[in-house]
Amino acid sequence: MAVYKINVATGSDMAAGTLNNIFIILVGEHGESEKHQISRHWSHFLPGSVTEFDINVEKDIGELLLVRLTMERYLNFLLDDWFCQYVNVTNPSGQLYQFPFYQWISKPGSVEVPEGKGVIITGSTHPILLRQRKAELEMNRETYKWKVYAEGVARCIDIEDDGVFKLPPNDQYSLLKEISFGYNLLSMGFGTMLKGFLFNKDLWHNLEDIKLLSTLRQSQKSGLVSEIWKEDYFFGSQYLNGVNPSLIKKCFKIPENFSVVDEMVASSLGPSTNLETELQNGHIFLADYKILENIPTNTINGKQQYIAAPMCLLWKNPQDQLVPIAIQLSQTPGKHTPVFLPSDSEFDWLLAKTWVRNSEFQVHQIDIHLLRTHFLAEVFSIATTRQLPMGHPLYKAWVFGDGGIPLLLKRAMEGMTYHNLCLPDNIVSRGMESIPNYLYRDDGMKIWLAVESFVSNIVNYYYTSDVMVKEDPELQAWVAEIFKEGFLQNTSSEVPSSLKSIASLIKYLTMVIFTCSAQHAAVNSGQFDTYSWMPNGPTTMKSPPPTAKGATMEDILKTLPDVNTTALGLIFVWIVSNDPLDTRRLGNYPNKYFTEKTPQQSIKEFQDKLTEISKHIKERNKTMDLPYAYLDPSVIENSVSI
């Protein structure tokens, strides 16, 4: 007879405790213990509690491999969900075994968890562990199936709109997230409804009136944006440090279909230089929205909506500002496609820039935000990070007509490459290595390197050779599935379908973590700052793009969204820019899945590095008129949640 000491920890979430009967079985190399009920006591299984008890095991079961927990109904009480954090077992000779559960147990039956050491399957892996891993994967594959959202677009989870409540509790929105989501929705929704904005289908009669709505809620930056949105330097700075900082490219040659010529931009560039020289000097940049060409649009408030596919040329001036110098609103040049210039009338130039900002909104939301962070996060980790794309407010994006979103997503998929997703390559491929004041790049690279170093420590701890990477069947199956379901086996994306070395594994994992955390923060957190002043990013446009110059203020107001559409846009950006109450920051892993010392040490080093980066960013921002805080690690979420 041997006595094992057991500690069972219940989660601290307010709904984590249970009234059920809980049973435990220890599984070792040489056999299993008997089934023991964990003694019932009023203080056991309360949220945050750790229950301690001993069990007697009749025979020698050898090295412990698994713990099996079973839940059964207590008397006539309903079976309620229980969140088990961990089970620690000390054997008779004093050796501690840690079993990190960190999961909801929701139905009768058993849940098995292996000891916390990371194990890569090899020829010598114990058959009991092989059996447990196979069973776990089979169950997951049964629960989570892939579904075609639209032809040519990354696959998503096979679930109905309300199906989140049918998922295992581990993957439903947390209670806190539901509460905060609802609170944000209601507080903002009621505020605006009371003011009558949501029921007003009129157009705005002057820009100042829009402030009546935009000042209902303000962030530190949103008020400033409403003051400086017309300024060319601010318009340009948003390509570097706004919510869509990875579209702009260095331009070496003006595209054939862009009718801008030297004399048009002479007054912007000044007498000491010209367009050709500035192209050669690497001071000219291009934002091209070709992806929006001929996307179908719908009607809102009974009015047809419109979309443009502009090109915008920008110049890094001697003051190191990035300023727009020419805008063409269509991909097809011709006499009805004027090139708009800063030297045009105030309203012509403002209307052209507003059209570009509207295109920014569309491309940012659908391609950069929805596809490249939300969809990818779902693909990367269907079983862990749950943000249902089908239920996400982004799906209700405004301007697109039938088939518009799938078509845009399909085009965006074609442009999505491994290069784009890996920040260092992304910066180089767009020629953005040296442009000054590109804080997305500067902060992003610091975080990329910190993640890479963390991943490198962990990977090198578990994998000691490239062969181990190549011959890890579970890892290779994961990578192959992402390539198949997420990138539709598109080899031109250069996304790996298998990994052949430790170095390639480090890069791949860094990309996955960066995409789901920092990249999402960069394109998500500033949405309220950017868009709450509607003219800086209209959600939709209700006049066609101008085909001649001569615009008036009235034309601009007729083009901008109606009052109620503006209010809906404001509610949307308010919700998506607010953290859920259960936010976890990058580098914080409250679920201690790693039980070994070395990985725990790596996590600590990663956290220290992030703290240092955060300190540096906060210091720098104190001195800036337009601070950039979206990539401050202290506000980056660990995953894509909203």
Q: Does 49 bind Fe ion (CB under 5 A)?
A: no
**Which residue reads 């209601």 in tokens?**
186
Amino acid found at 132: Q
Least distance (Å) between residue 523 CB and Fe ion: 7
| Interface with Fe ion: number of residues (CB under 5 A) | 1
Edge-to-edge strands of the sheet including 50-57?
Answer: 50-57, 2-10, 82-90, 96-105
User: Cα angle vertex 394, ends 15, 630, to 5°?
Assistant: 80
Least distance (Å) between residue 471 CB and Fe ion: 37
Q: For Fe ion, which stretch binds (CB under 5 A), given 287-295, 322-330, 519-527, 538-546? A: 519-527
In this chain, which residue has its C-beta nearest to Fe ion? 524
**Nearer to Fe ion among residue 297 and residue 519 (C-beta):** 519
The closest alpha carbon to 412, from 381, 356, 373, 355, belongs to: 373
Least distance (Å) between residue 178 CB and Fe ion: 17
**Nearer to Fe ion among residue 297 and residue 524 (C-beta):** 524
Q: Does 524 bind Fe ion (CB under 5 A)?
A: yes
Q: For Fe ion, which stretch binds (CB under 5 A), given 20-28, 263-271, 309-317, 517-525? A: 517-525
Least distance (Å) between residue 90 CB and Fe ion: 44
Q: What is the dihedral angle through the alpha carbons of 277, 246, 424, 473, rounded to the nearest 10 degrees?
A: -150
**Nearer to Fe ion among residue 517 and residue 543 (C-beta):** 517
Least distance (Å) between residue 581 CB and Fe ion: 16
Distance CA 576, CA 94 (A): 50
**Nearer to Fe ion among residue 331 and residue 524 (C-beta):** 524
Q: For Fe ion, which stretch binds (CB under 5 A), given 129-137, 225-233, 377-385, 524-532? A: 524-532
Distance CA 219, CA 300 (A): 28
**Alpha helix segments (H runs only) across 333-490:** 346-363, 376-380, 404-415, 418-421, 423-429, 439-462, 466-470, 473-481
Cβ neighbours of 290 (radius 10 Å): 13
Q: Is the dihedral of CA 351, 357, 358, 360 positive or negative?
A: positive
Task: Restricting to residues 445-464, name those near Fe ion by CB under 5 A.
Answer: none
**Nearer to Fe ion among residue 426 and residue 525 (C-beta):** 525
**Nearer to Fe ion among residue 521 and residue 567 (C-beta):** 521
Least distance (Å) between residue 361 CB and Fe ion: 14
Least distance (Å) between residue 630 CB and Fe ion: 12
**Nearer to Fe ion among residue 36 and residue 520 (C-beta):** 520
Q: For Fe ion, which stretch binds (CB under 5 A), given 10-18, 125-133, 176-184, 522-530? A: 522-530
Q: Is the dihedral of CA 319, 320, 321, 323 positive or negative?
A: positive
**Nearer to Fe ion among residue 26 and residue 368 (C-beta):** 368
114 HSE (CA, 13 A, CB side): 18
Least distance (Å) between residue 460 CB and Fe ion: 32
User: Cα angle vertex 382, ends 379, 383, to 5°?
Assistant: 155
Footprint on this chain of Fe ion (rule: CB under 5 A): 524
